[in-house]
Structure 1
């Protein structure tokens, strides 16, 4: 087993007693020919199957460890993939992207004040299993996270042991540092599967507004797909929260778009062997902005040719999901869409999108809860490259 994952197995399972029946996991769409994650035989993981992703033994073992540790909890949210064939056959090797604000541990136990969530459900000893289980259930090739305050002691070693390369950018003035017993600043993290992608470059960006640095950041990583040779630039960000700061979110979004436009132009002007019009962009984040906000319109109208992948869940492909976060704080209930996966329409095609759980599944106390570790739902999409023009 990978050293990083092995070191964390004990940590991830040491605090929970198990006394009830095992939790059932939903099937995970990777390819119609592949089995569900929880049913994979470890021996099968060692086989090389042409045209499909194969789970390394570490991920299967770690998933089983998480399932075992969570046996005393209710079944997790059951979500299904919506497949978008559009008359085409499913690609043999889709690129799976996960976007998720995982909820910083210090904030969940501190200032976020989730009044309907039991204190025990917010403990790190429980939440860490649920977070890792969610990631391993869908096994993304590219993972974009926000509010990460356990990067160095949990996520980096675990993901490294599973074959991922990771990059982290903390906020300059993280609110986590104001919470007693915190684990350091929270920030954005980006991981990619090294068997699928080669790292070309990664930079941390401190977002500015009117040329003044702000407290929000982004990680921008440039990758080359090993199977196709195509470039993929991935950005993960977390824009300013709260009502009244719409202007700042718009300015931060504009700054990020400016950085990405310069990066794409640099790649197009270089000698990397890929035309500028065929460089793919993926921008994931908690924008803290509903679709009617200016920052959303800026991304929609960007000359980069961006679209929001989760709109594919709607019947006409034009509307965002009703919610990506649903929580109850002391100040009231909040149900809104704030999280997005943006992609370049001319280079990428959406193959499948993970649906959203229903209100009944989420439950009356909303999120987070014993069955879900964050107040934000994960977004998971499969993409394929379009033919070069």
Structure 2
């Protein structure tokens, strides 16, 4: 099977410049997505060597903070007791419609029950080769997708179980959703992905191969399950462990996907010996993960972009709002996350995607049923 995101006839249509955003958001044609690597409990212990304070690494101290990052309105209400805007769809703190979580190792005993209380249902894929097994025989991390019952309906899913080695496994979870408030019952395929970590050349090659495998599966999934392949929209969330210029990202962009944060860049400029961060047009934010490890497990400091929300720009989808990931103010002397204000070593991404004006693909003469 060819390594393409969708059949070639679905990749027609112009790319869109989403640098300007609509002030009015129609809840019947748009969804808010959150992508968050929450740092697996089993990967945050002393053996992992994080430079963070021990109390900031304990899951019992992080769990509630993780939920408040996903549901910031709850944090606002705790502080202000102000419910005047609870139904304002334009509020950037509105509860998300779709939540993609990576490194989830307390799915059944914490996250699923907490999400159910808030009106969400979830699907889960445990990692067969979870790195948590290096530190705990009881916990494995995995991928979870939580969806708001009020706004979306789950009508299909896919979890691959055919890979025989870790390197062959594109760690992904597929969900086919129907937007309940959409008059056209818009189909959206959501993918939660966590690609291979590491910065060595062989890891870069593994990631691009995983991206290609993910695209092949997506092509087959859409052809087999989607009721209207001419209008289906795609959103891919996750920790790709890849910087924006890596081959795997080029591959995804070449298939018509665009990052919700692609037109933002934070660059460093030296002034009086200090580093200043500036937001510029053109690329990703300066970092979405920030950690320092002192032990044998992935020793060193990492501060870079690795997390993304990508959407089918080639199908007419547009970003109508987003929350910029926090780049400073984590606390005095912090040289890596988690911290008292950030419960994970990754930042939470949040963006609202509009599917109001989809580009309807036209099949080729052979019907376009199979990718070339």
Q: In structure 2, what is the equivalent of residue 321 of structure 1? A: 285
- Output the TM-score relative to the length of structure 1: 0.71
Q: CA RMSD in A?
A: 2.3
Q: In structure 1, what is the equivalent of residue 208 of structure 2? A: 250
What's the CA shift for 1:212?
7.9
The answer to whether the aligner puts 1:218 opposite 2:172 as a matched pair is: yes
Structure-2 change in CA distance of 1:215 and 1:225 (3 Å): same
Pairs within 5 Å for 1:24-63? none
Measured against aligned partners, the alpha-carbon deviations of 1:299-346 in whole angstroms (never above 9, x if no partner) come to 0111xx211111143577530111001111123321100011110012
Mapped to 1, the partners of 2:59 and 2:149 lie a distance apart of 28
What's the CA shift for 1:108?
0.7
The answer to whether the aligner puts 1:186 opposite 2:141 as a matched pair is: yes
Q: In structure 1, what is the equivalent of residue 75 of structure 2? A: none
Pairs within 5 Å for 1:1-389? 86=20, 88-93=22-27, 94-115=30-51, 117-137=52-72, 138=93, 139-180=95-136, 183-206=138-161, 214=168, 216-228=170-182, 229-244=185-200, 245-267=203-225, 272=227, 274=228, 276-302=229-255, 305-314=256-265, 318-330=282-294, 331-345=299-313, 346-361=315-330, 363-365=332-334, 366-389=336-359
Structure-2 change in CA distance of 1:355 and 1:215 (3 Å): same
What's the CA shift for 1:140?
1.1
Kept in 2, the 8 Å contact 1:164–1:193? The answer is yes
Paired residue total: 296
**Where does structure 1 lack aligned partners over 5 or more consecutive residues?**
1-83
Structure-2 change in CA distance of 1:316 and 1:266 (3 Å): farther
What's the CA shift for 1:158?
1.1
Structure-2 change in CA distance of 1:207 and 1:320 (3 Å): farther
Worse-superposed segment, 366-375 or 197-206: 197-206
What's the CA shift for 1:133?
1.4
- Output the TM-score relative to the length of structure 2: 0.74
Choose between structure 1 and 2 for higher RCO, CA contacts under 8 A separated by at least 6 residues: 2
Structure-2 change in CA distance of 1:206 and 1:306 (3 Å): farther
Higher helix share: 1
Measured against aligned partners, the alpha-carbon deviations of 1:367-389 in whole angstroms (never above 9, x if no partner) come to 11111110000110011113244
Structure-2 change in CA distance of 1:85 and 1:250 (3 Å): closer
Kept in 2, the 8 Å contact 1:207–1:218? The answer is no
Mapped to 2, the partners of 1:205 and 1:364 lie a distance apart of 43
Structure-2 change in CA distance of 1:367 and 1:212 (3 Å): closer
What's the CA shift for 1:363?
5.0
